[in-house]
Amino acid sequence: MRSYVTFSSKAFNTTEEREIFAQPRKFGDDVAGWFADRLSESGWEVDDEISQEPLGWFITFRRDADEFDLGVTCLNPERGIWLAWLEQPAGFFGALLGRRDRPIQSAGPNAVHEILASATEIDNIRWFTREEFVRGDIDVDGESAAVAEAVPANQNGYLS
């Protein structure tokens, strides 16, 4: 299942360093909020908290038995190239036990794709499998190597 998506947009903050940023140039808080609003409008239950981790910003959303973590980070602030990816919520110990390795159910990627595809401010939507992303077998507007270097994966293939 393709669970990594890149897209282009200049509609989000890529210039203003905010006090809430744990690391310099970790843009994406407004993109995570944008996704949260649109997922909620689409009938998904979305946690109130947008969490910040070293890689980027995360929201959790669910409907029925489906639950997903959506991560967002900016790959290229100058060009407005963004990465979003879906994971299975596992918690700290579950992640250590490999519970994030469970297959992603299609409802999550489908919901994210519908939001991106219907937004006039979004261009160049490209989906990838985790394996394609980790290997760098992707082309984001001619920047496949830069993407792989900008967002390294850990030994399990997940973003670190």
pLDDT single digits (tens) 22-54? 777 788 999 999 999 999 999 999 999 998 888
Does 133 reside within a domain? yes
Does 9 reside within a domain? yes
Percent of the chain whose pLDDT exceeds 90 = 51
Does 48 reside within a domain? yes
Cβ neighbours around 112 below 10 Å, total = 24
Does 157 reside within a domain? no
Check if the beta carbon of residue 83 is closer than 8 Å to that of residue 75: yes
Residue 97: pLDDT band (50, 70, 90) is low
Residue 104: pLDDT band (50, 70, 90) is confident
pTM: 0.81
Give per-residue pLDDT as tens, 128-148.
Answer: 988 888 887 766 665 553 444
For the chain, the average pLDDT equals 82
Alpha-carbon distance 30 to 45, whole Å? 18
| Type of residue numbered 69 | D
| Pairing label, strands 81-87, 45-46 | unpaired
Range of the domain at 22: 4-150
Does 156 reside within a domain? no
Alpha-carbon distance 89 to 74, whole Å? 22
| Type of residue numbered 41 | E
What was the pLDDT predicted at 99? 55
Residue 92: pLDDT band (50, 70, 90) is low
Does 43 reside within a domain? yes
- What is the domain count for the chain? 1
Does 159 reside within a domain? no
77-89 average pLDDT score: 92
Does 99 reside within a domain? yes
